[in-house]
């Protein structure tokens, strides 16, 4: 028997950063995101020898040890260990014996929510195996608590909910920890046009998102007006972009992305750099009407809105920077689990 799961990565179209505490606790947050057909995968094979094996194929890491109630959090494969430890604790289970293999279609630090999506996929696999009573909101909340509270990793809430629910969602975050996921019903031709016109470009760089996020959190705590006002604007733009997509007014998407990018850069130091600025400027010169970096910033993936037939010229122009445009499609399905 093998238990499998997969959860989709996401593009943060607008509002990213407003889902991060303490901003979301004080002012409330709003994010528009969309999942794509790039995934985090987890496979569990039960064992009966009182041993645990955890393997990350993409990171080329392997842990092996005895079955115990709590695995040591030591900087290696902590996301998987954190899920295991929380499940054993919450459900008062005896130590489990298994082999778990994981793989993510995008590298860590790429800005597509890889870490949170992996936690969701691993939690989904354990939930399928152990028949845990977790609904979608329960799954996303527990994924968030494992990563942010148990493991102390800085970040927001949107990634866990995007990976669990899938599709294009407008998400609202409130001060009591309440999250509301509003799925958008979008006509296929609008979704197809949106996918055709948004180029996903990998810069072949990565960054430690927690450093940027902690700077952002510090700015909110200290009352830095420029940073806080930028987040207010990003929240407003998430609402505007939601309305544009629902009404099929895609000609405004580039402009909204451009405004989002200008405000995003004011949230914290390190979101952009000279190379990112140069890539952005050349993409606009080649025909893109707007874009932004995906995730916290500093590297990873960027995406650009390219109306008409401009995508081909933009892709050609971006080749000079050593990255590559990645093929993708939007997906409507979130976390999936099965046993075979």
Residues with catalytic annotation? Answer: 159
Q: How far apart are CA 265 and CA 280, in angstroms?
A: 13
Cα–Cα distance between 128 and 216 in angstroms, integer?
36
Helix (H) or strand (E) holding 120: helix 114-130
Distance CA 257, CA 236 (A): 12
Distances (CA, A) of 63 to 51, 150, 158, 277, 319: 11, 20, 29, 40, 38
Q: What are phi and psi of 75, to 5 degrees?
A: 95, -5
∠118-121-126 over CA atoms, to 5°?
125
- Give 150's contacts (C-beta < 8 A, 6+ positions apart): 82, 85, 86
Query: Which helix (H) or strand (E) is 92 found in, with range?
Result: none
**Helical H segments across 181-270, by residue range:** 188-197, 209-221, 225-246, 253-264
* Cβ neighbours of residue 169 closer than 8 Å, sequence gap 6 or more: 32, 33, 34, 161, 162, 181, 182, 183, 184
φ, ψ of residue 223 in degrees (nearest 5): 75, 30
> In terms of DSSP bridges, do strands 179-183 and 336-339 run parallel, antiparallel, or are they unpaired?
unpaired
Q: Is the dihedral of CA 123, 332, 197, 182 positive or negative?
A: negative
């Amino acid at each position: 028997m093998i238990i499998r799961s997969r959860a989709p990565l996401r593009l943060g179209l607008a509002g990213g950063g407003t889902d991060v505490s303490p901003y979301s606790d004080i002012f409330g947050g709003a994010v528009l995101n969309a999942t794509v057909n790039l995934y985090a995968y987890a496979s569990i094979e039960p064992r009966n020898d009182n041993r645990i094996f955890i393997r990350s194929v993409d990171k080329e890491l392997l842990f092996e040890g005895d079955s115990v109630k709590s695995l040591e959090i030591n900087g290696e494969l902590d996301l998987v260990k954190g899920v295991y430890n929380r499940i054993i604790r919450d459900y008062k289970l005896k130590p489990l014996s298994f082999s778990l293999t994981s793989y993510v279609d995008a590298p860590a630090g790429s800005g597509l929510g890889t870490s949170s999506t992996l936690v969701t996929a691993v939690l989904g696999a354990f939930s399928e195996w152990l028949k845990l009573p977790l609904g979608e909101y329960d799954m996303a909340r527990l994924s968030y608590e494992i990563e942010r509270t148990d493991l102390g990793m800085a970040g927001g809430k949107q990634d866990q909910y995007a990976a669990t629910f899938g599709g294009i969602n407008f998400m609202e975050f409130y001060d009591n920890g309440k999250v509301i996921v509003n799925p958008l019903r979008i006509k296929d031709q609008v979704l197809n046009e949106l996918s055709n016109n948004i180029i996903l470009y990998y810069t072949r760089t990565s960054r430690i998102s927690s450093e940027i996020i902690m700077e952002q959190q510090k700015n909110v705590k200290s009352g830095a007006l420029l940073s806080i006002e930028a987040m207010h604007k990003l929240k407003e733009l998430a609402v505007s972009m939601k309305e544009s997509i629902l009404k099929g007014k895609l000609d405004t998407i580039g402009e909204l992305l451009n405004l989002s990018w200008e405000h995003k850069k004011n949230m914290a130091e390190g979101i952009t750099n000279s190379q990112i600025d140069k890539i952005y400027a050349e993409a606009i010169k080649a025909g893109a009407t707007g874009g932004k970096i995906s995730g916290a910033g500093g590297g990873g993936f960027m995406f650009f809105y390219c109306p008409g037939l401009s995508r081909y010229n933009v892709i050609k122009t971006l080749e000079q920077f050593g990255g590559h445009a990645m093929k993708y499609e939007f997906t409507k399905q979130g976390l999936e689990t099965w046993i075979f």
